[in-house]
Amino acid sequence: MRISIFGSGYVGLVQAAVFSEVGHQVTCMDIDAERITRIERGELPFFEPGLADRVTTGLAQGTLRLTSNAQSAVEGSDYLFICVGTPPAPDGGADLQHVMSAAETIGTHMDSRKVIITKSTVPVGTADQISARIAEILAGRNVDVDYEVCSNPEFLKEGSAVADALRPDRIIVGVRSETAQREFRRMYEAFNRNHDKMMFMDPRSAELTKYAANAMLATKISFINEIANIAEAVGADIEWVRKGIGSDPRIGYQFIYPGAGYGGSCFPKDVLALDHLAGQHAIQASILPAVHSTNEAQKRRLPALVTARLGDDLTGRTVGIWGLSFKPNTDDMREAPSRVLIEAIWAAGGHIKAFDPKAMPACQKLYGERQDIEFANSKEEAIQNADCLVICTEWKVFWSPNFEDIKRRLSAPIIIDGRNLFNPAYMDELGIEYYGIGRGKTLTVGG
């Protein structure tokens, strides 16, 4: 099948590579010509395990083509996926300017039947907006061609996006015609062999399903973080609590790991966008704003623990940080808890030595050249002569360190663990002053 994908970000480029791998003829279009050139050279704009090799293979085999020519992308394919960004608008809603720009481009150049598919996370009703705008453009061109606008939301997790695309849990498609249903079945046949994962519904229900899924997952994270803070206050251990409630199949173990708060490009903006959508329809949502405010407060826990232990004035102090990305296996620092920590340390006059397997270039690009942060070549270098170690991201390389070496390198053996990687009792045995999230050891903190 001939497929064009508008956007070469986390969703677009991954979906293009995976579709091309199973034999579809895929064009990935981005208006940024320089970005396209870099991808063709093998310089991907972000890190995602398994993606670079698949892009290289697709280009070599001729099943994947990259272009900045929107007209050729529209005219050369029958199925047009919109996979562009939907950043938060100032009012908390989703900014659809890139989505609508792609839709207008499609309407301007289409001259035969097309199926237009939104894979970006968009507010309910966006498919109808796109359809109306394309109809308006076609009428202005005096062109009469058949088309259908569908919703096929992505459920990819950064860090495992390729694996998620190859083996999706479900394939949700919002369509209105049986013809489009049959076409989607052919399109996804290679990913739907074990059992039928396809769920067809109307476009508005598909759009809301995506928002609801992300909001539910965010809710679980904020809930367990709130319980962790209670556990810490009353002297309980959240790890036992987590295992106790997770054993209930109605709750499950996924997304109930306490920590420093969620980040990334999806959960923060989608919770706010869904709350905004509810407000537009006179629905007073109570849980959604609570989820967001709880998460924002949780991001302040790590800097509060640092200042509670080292003092409010960090002048002359150095904090070693392990992990900068919002989660492992990505270099994405959007809304990352590490950013709140970094900026709080700077505000208190402190110095930072940081290590992350992938995200240090992104951090340097984000903050520029500064004298108050060093990027280390290893996790060991990041803690040399530091006053404490703070763990922000649970990269596997941090899970089983040499603790005696940590004690030798740190000025004082203090670990503040935002991901609960280590056993507090074992840390006590080693003589390490260890503070996790909800692990029973408390510091008097503000915020």
- Residue whose tokens read 């369509």: 175
- Residue whose tokens read 């296996």: 329
Helices (H), 120-202: 126-141, 161-166, 178-187
From residue 441, alpha-carbon distances to 309, 369, 392 in Å are: 12, 37, 18
Spell out a b/e string for 373-397, using b for 16 or more CB atoms within 10 Å of the CB, else e. bbbbeebbebbbebbbbbbbbbbee
Q: Copy the structure tokens of residue 69.
A: 């020519």
The edge-to-edge listing of strands for the beta sheet with 79-82 is 64-67, 25-29, 2-6, 79-82, 114-118, 147-151, 171-174, 198-201
If you ran DSSP here, which 8-state letter would residue 88 be given?
B
Residue 173: φ, ψ to 5°: -135, 125
Nearest residue to 406 (alpha-carbon basis) of 423, 385, 429: 385
- Distance between CA 116 and CA 14 in Å, rounded? 18
Nearest residue to 333 (alpha-carbon basis) of 353, 356, 352, 349: 356
- Distance between CA 276 and CA 347 in Å, rounded? 32
- Residue whose tokens read 């208190």: 348
Q: Which of 28, 150, 266, 392 is an active site residue?
A: 266
- Distance between CA 155 and CA 106 in Å, rounded? 24
- Distance between CA 165 and CA 257 in Å, rounded? 24
Q: Copy the structure tokens of residue 58.
A: 């697709």
266 is catalytic: yes
- Concatenating the DSSP letter of every residue in 94-105 gives B--HHHHHHHHH
CA angle 110, 114, 116 (to 5 degrees): 105
Catalytic residues: 266
